[in-house]
Structure 1
C-alpha cells in the first residue's frame, strides 16, 4: 500500500486528513481594540505561530476579554495550526496548541480524533508543502477542502505512540545540535562586537577627538545613469547591501535596472553608508567602481587621517549606530541627514594604530565568516536529516 509515493507496511491504512481529524479555521479578529484590554483569553494569530515556526505554542501576544470571546470558537489543546492564507502560508509553519484558545481566521485548525495521536499528525504535516496544495501560487491561499484531502498513513494507536516517541527523541537531539552551532556563531559575533565597542571605549591618551566631517568627506556628484558611459556600471541600492555583514547581493547594471534618476559615482577608496533606517546597519566597501543610490552616502576618508577599513568598522560600531538612530528619529522616515552624520564626534587613533585595530577586526570577521559557513552547512544537513527521519517514520521503517 502507498500514500503519495510513501510505501507502507501491512496493517497501515491511508486516510484523508478530514477522515481522522476535525478540520476547520479560526475566527476573524475582533476589530474593536477595547476587546483586547485587560484580556485573559489567548487569541493566536499567524504572527504568534511565526515565532514558533514548528513546535508547541502556549501563549499569544493578544489576550481577549470576556466580551471579546463572545461568538468565537474555542479550540482545545492538541489542535494543530496550519497557516492557510497570506504570505505566511508559504513558510510552512506548523504548531500544536498546548493551551485552549481562540484562533485567527488565517489559520486552519486540525484536531485529530481520539483514536489518533495529535503529535503523530503534527509530525506528518511538517512534511506537507503548502505550495503542493495550491492551484495558483500567485494567490497564497488554501481551501479547507484541499487540506481535508491530504492523504495520511495511519498505523494502529500503539505504533503511533512508538513512532512519536522515536521522533521526539531524534528531533530533540537535532535541536540540541542546532543550538550548539548557533551558540558558537553567536559567541563569535559577540566577541567581535565587544572588541569593536572596546576600541572606542578604551581610547589611548594620544587619540584626538574628531568630528567625522574633519576626516571624511563626500566628493561625488549626482550623475545621469541614462548616459551611455554609465550603462554598464554596477548599481548599488540599499536593498543590495546585507545588514551588518558588509556584503552585496543581486547586483545589476544601470542598463539592466533601466535607471532614470540621479546616482552617485563611487570607487574602491570609499565606504558606502545607507542613510535610510540606520538601525539596519547597511554599510559596505567595494573593490570596484560603480553607481549608488542617492539614499547612500559615498564616503571618502581623508588620506593621512582616516583609513577606509577603519571608517567601515567605525560605522558598524554600536556607538555610531546609536547616534545615527537618535538623529534619524526626527523624520517621518528614519533617515540620517548629512549634517548629523558629519557632526558625529569620537576619539580617533593615529593611522598606524588604525591599521593595527583593522588587522584584529579583519581576523575576527574572517573567523565569523568561517563559522557562518559551517553553521549554514550544519543547518542544511540537519534539515536533510529531519526530512529523512520523517520519511522513514511514515513508511514504517523506524
Structure 2
C-alpha cells in the first residue's frame, strides 16, 4: 500500500443496515426508488431512507454497489451504507467496492444462493487516503467513466440502428411484396418432416457419420453448430436425414420459432421441424421469411399452449409463406438480407469487443486509483 494510505474496516466508516421491505411492496406507480436483490430498480409507495447511500444486494452472485441520493425503499435482503464519516467520500467508497469486487463473493455464505451478513460488510478492509486525495481520485474517475459510458452508448446505438434497419427491411419486403407473389403452404413447396432421436441406450447409433442437431445448436445468424453431436451410419438408418439446403425451426418449448438453415446434410431430434424446398425455391429466402414477426405470430397462434407451446408437423406444414415467381428474384432478396445481416453481425462483434475493452480499461483505472498510481 502506498505511503499515507491505511486500511480501515468499513464498519468504522459508515452505518450499515438491511431493509425491511419485501417483494410485494413493489408497485408500478410508486413515488420512491425500491432497491432489492436484482439489477432492476423498482418503485415503492414508501421510503425507509432519505440520504446519500451505497446500496448492495445481500444475495446473488455479484455484490456491486449502486450510488443513490434521496428517498428510497430497501428490500430485507439488500444493504444500505450511509451516514459516512468525515474519513470517507461516498463516491470514493463506491469506486473502491467496484475495485475490490472479489471480496464480498469470497466471504458470502450458502451452498446454492450466496448471501451476506452484516459482519461481512463491517469487516471489509477499505484502503483509505486523505479526503482531499479521495476527492481528486473521484473527480478523475467520474470524468473517465463518463467518457467510457459515452463511447459504450455510441457503439450500442450503432448496433441498434443496424438491427432496426435489418428488421425494417425484413418487414417491408414480406409485407409490401412484388408483382406475381403467391402464398403457398410449406407442404406445397417442399418436403416437411420432424426429427427423431435414435435409442440413447445403443452407443453404436452415435458417431461422426452425420451431424445430429438440437435446439441449442442454432446460432444467432441462422447457421447450425454441427460439431457437437453426431450419428453413426447405423444411427442414421433409424433417423430422418435433412438434406443440405433445408430450413429448420424449433417446434416446442421456450425457444419455439427459432430458425436456422443447413448447408450440409444433417439429422435432428424431435424438437425440430424441417423444410427441404423443391427446385425453384430458395431455402434462405424461406429462412428470412420465417424470421418475420407475422410468421412468428402464426407459429405461436398454431401452437397448443396447455403447458409448453408446441406446433406439430401437420400444423407447421400448413403455415403459409409468400413467394416471387422466379428463383432469381428470391436470390436477389436473399443477397440484400445477407449483406444487412453481415453488417449487423460486424457491428455486434465490434460492440462486444468495445464492451470488453471498456471493461478492461475500467479495471485498469480502478487498479491505478487504489494503488496510488492515478
Q: Same fold (TM over 0.5)?
A: yes
Q: Hey, what's the Cα distance between the residues in 1 that align with 2:331 and 2:251?
A: 26
Q: Hey, what's the Cα distance between the residues in 2 that align with 1:374 and 1:30?
A: 38
Q: 1:341 aligns with which of 303, 306, 316?
A: 316
> How far apart are residue 369 of structure 1 and its match?
1.9
Structure 1 spans left out of the alignment, 5+ residues: 3-7, 52-59
Q: Hey, what's the Cα distance between the residues in 1 that align with 2:195 and 2:368?
A: 62
RMSD: 3.0
Within 5 A, what are the aligned runs for 1:93-242?
93-111=64-82, 113-115=84-86, 116-127=88-99, 128-129=101-102, 130-134=104-108, 138-219=112-193, 222-226=196-200, 227-228=202-203, 230-233=205-208, 234-242=211-219
Secondary structure at 2:114's aligned position in 1? coil
Q: 2:359 aligns with which of 362, 374, 383?
A: 383
**TM-score, normalisation: structure 1:** 0.80
> How far apart are residue 39 of structure 1 and its match?
5.3
Within 5 A, what are the aligned runs for 1:43-122?
43-47=34-38, 50-51=39-40, 60-64=41-45, 74-85=48-59, 89-111=60-82, 113-115=84-86, 116-122=88-94
Equivalence for 1:311: 286
> How far apart are residue 169 of structure 1 and its match?
0.7
Q: Deviation per CA, 1:239-278, whole angstroms, max 9, x where unpaired?
A: 3334x532556963269xxx9xx97543433222112357
Structure 2 spans left out of the alignment, 5+ residues: none
Of 125-134 and 221-230, deviating more is 221-230
Secondary structure at 1:18's aligned position in 2? helix
How many residue pairs are counted as aligned between the two chains? 362
- For the 8 Å contact 2:62–2:105, the answer to whether it is kept is no
**TM-score, normalisation: structure 2:** 0.85
Secondary structure at 1:99's aligned position in 2? strand
- For the 8 Å contact 2:52–2:67, the answer to whether it is kept is yes
Q: Does 1:325 align with 2:297?
A: no
Q: Deviation per CA, 1:273-295, whole angstroms, max 9, x where unpaired?
A: 11235777522223444442312
Q: Hey, what's the Cα distance between the residues in 2 that align with 1:162 and 1:221?
A: 64
Q: Hey, what's the Cα distance between the residues in 2 that align with 1:245 and 1:137?
A: 38
> How far apart are residue 333 of structure 1 and its match?
2.1
- For the 8 Å contact 2:191–2:276, the answer to whether it is kept is yes
1:275 and 1:30, CA in 2 relative to 1: closer, same or farther beyond 3 A?
closer
Equivalence for 1:57: none
Q: Does 1:21 align with 2:14?
A: yes
> How far apart are residue 391 of structure 1 and its match?
1.1
Of 22-31 and 204-213, deviating more is 22-31
Q: 1:354 aligns with which of 300, 310, 330?
A: 330
Please identify runs of 4+ aligned residues in structure 1 that moved more than 6 A: none
- For the 8 Å contact 2:37–2:58, the answer to whether it is kept is no
Q: Hey, what's the Cα distance between the residues in 2 that align with 1:37 and 1:180?
A: 30
1:162 and 1:311, CA in 2 relative to 1: closer, same or farther beyond 3 A?
same
